[in-house]
Amino acid sequence: MRALEVVRPGALTTVQDQGRPGHAHLGVPRSGALDTAAHALANRLLGNPAQAAALETTLDGVALRALSPLTVAVTGAPCAVRVSGRPAAWGAPVRLRAGAELEVGRAESGVRSYVAVRGGLAVPPVLGSRSRDLLSGLGPPVLTGGMVLPVGAPGPDPARGADELGVPGPPAELVLPLRPGPRADWFEPASLAALWRAVYRVSPASNRIGLRTEAGPALARSRPGELPSEGMVLGAVQVPPDGLPVVFLADHPVTGGYPVIGVVPPGPALDAAAQARPGTAVRFVGAGAV
Which of 107, 134, 164 is where one domain is finished? 164
| 155-162 long-range contacts, CB within 8 A, separation 24+ | 155/47, 155/48, 155/49, 155/118, 155/119, 156/47, 157/47, 158/44, 158/45, 158/46, 158/47, 158/93, 159/44, 159/47, 162/44, 162/45, 162/47
Whether 236 and 147 share a structural domain: no
Whether 199 and 100 share a structural domain: no
* Residues contacting residue 147 through CB under 8 Å, at least 6 positions apart: 5, 6, 9, 141
Give the domain range for residue 32: 3-164
Whether 123 and 182 share a structural domain: no
pTM beyond cutoff 0.85: yes
Sequential pLDDT tens for the chain (290 residues): 899 999 999 999 999 999 999 998 888 989 999 999 999 999 999 999 999 999 999 999 999 999 999 999 999 999 999 999 999 999 999 999 999 999 999 999 999 999 999 999 999 999 999 999 999 899 999 999 999 999 999 876 654 445 555 666 788 899 999 999 899 999 999 999 999 999 999 999 999 999 999 999 999 999 888 889 999 999 999 999 999 999 999 999 999 999 999 999 999 999 999 999 999 999 999 875 54
Buried b (16+ CB within 10 A) or exposed e, 140-160: beebeeebebebbebeeebee
Kindly report, residue by residue over 192-245, the tens digit of the pLDDT.
999 999 999 999 999 999 999 999 999 999 988 888 999 999 999 999 999 999
pLDDT at res. 43: 95
Q: How many domains does the chain have?
A: 2
Whether 60 and 116 share a structural domain: yes
Whether 195 and 132 share a structural domain: no
Whether 139 and 184 share a structural domain: no
pLDDT at res. 186: 93
Whether 10 and 105 share a structural domain: yes
pLDDT at res. 161: 41
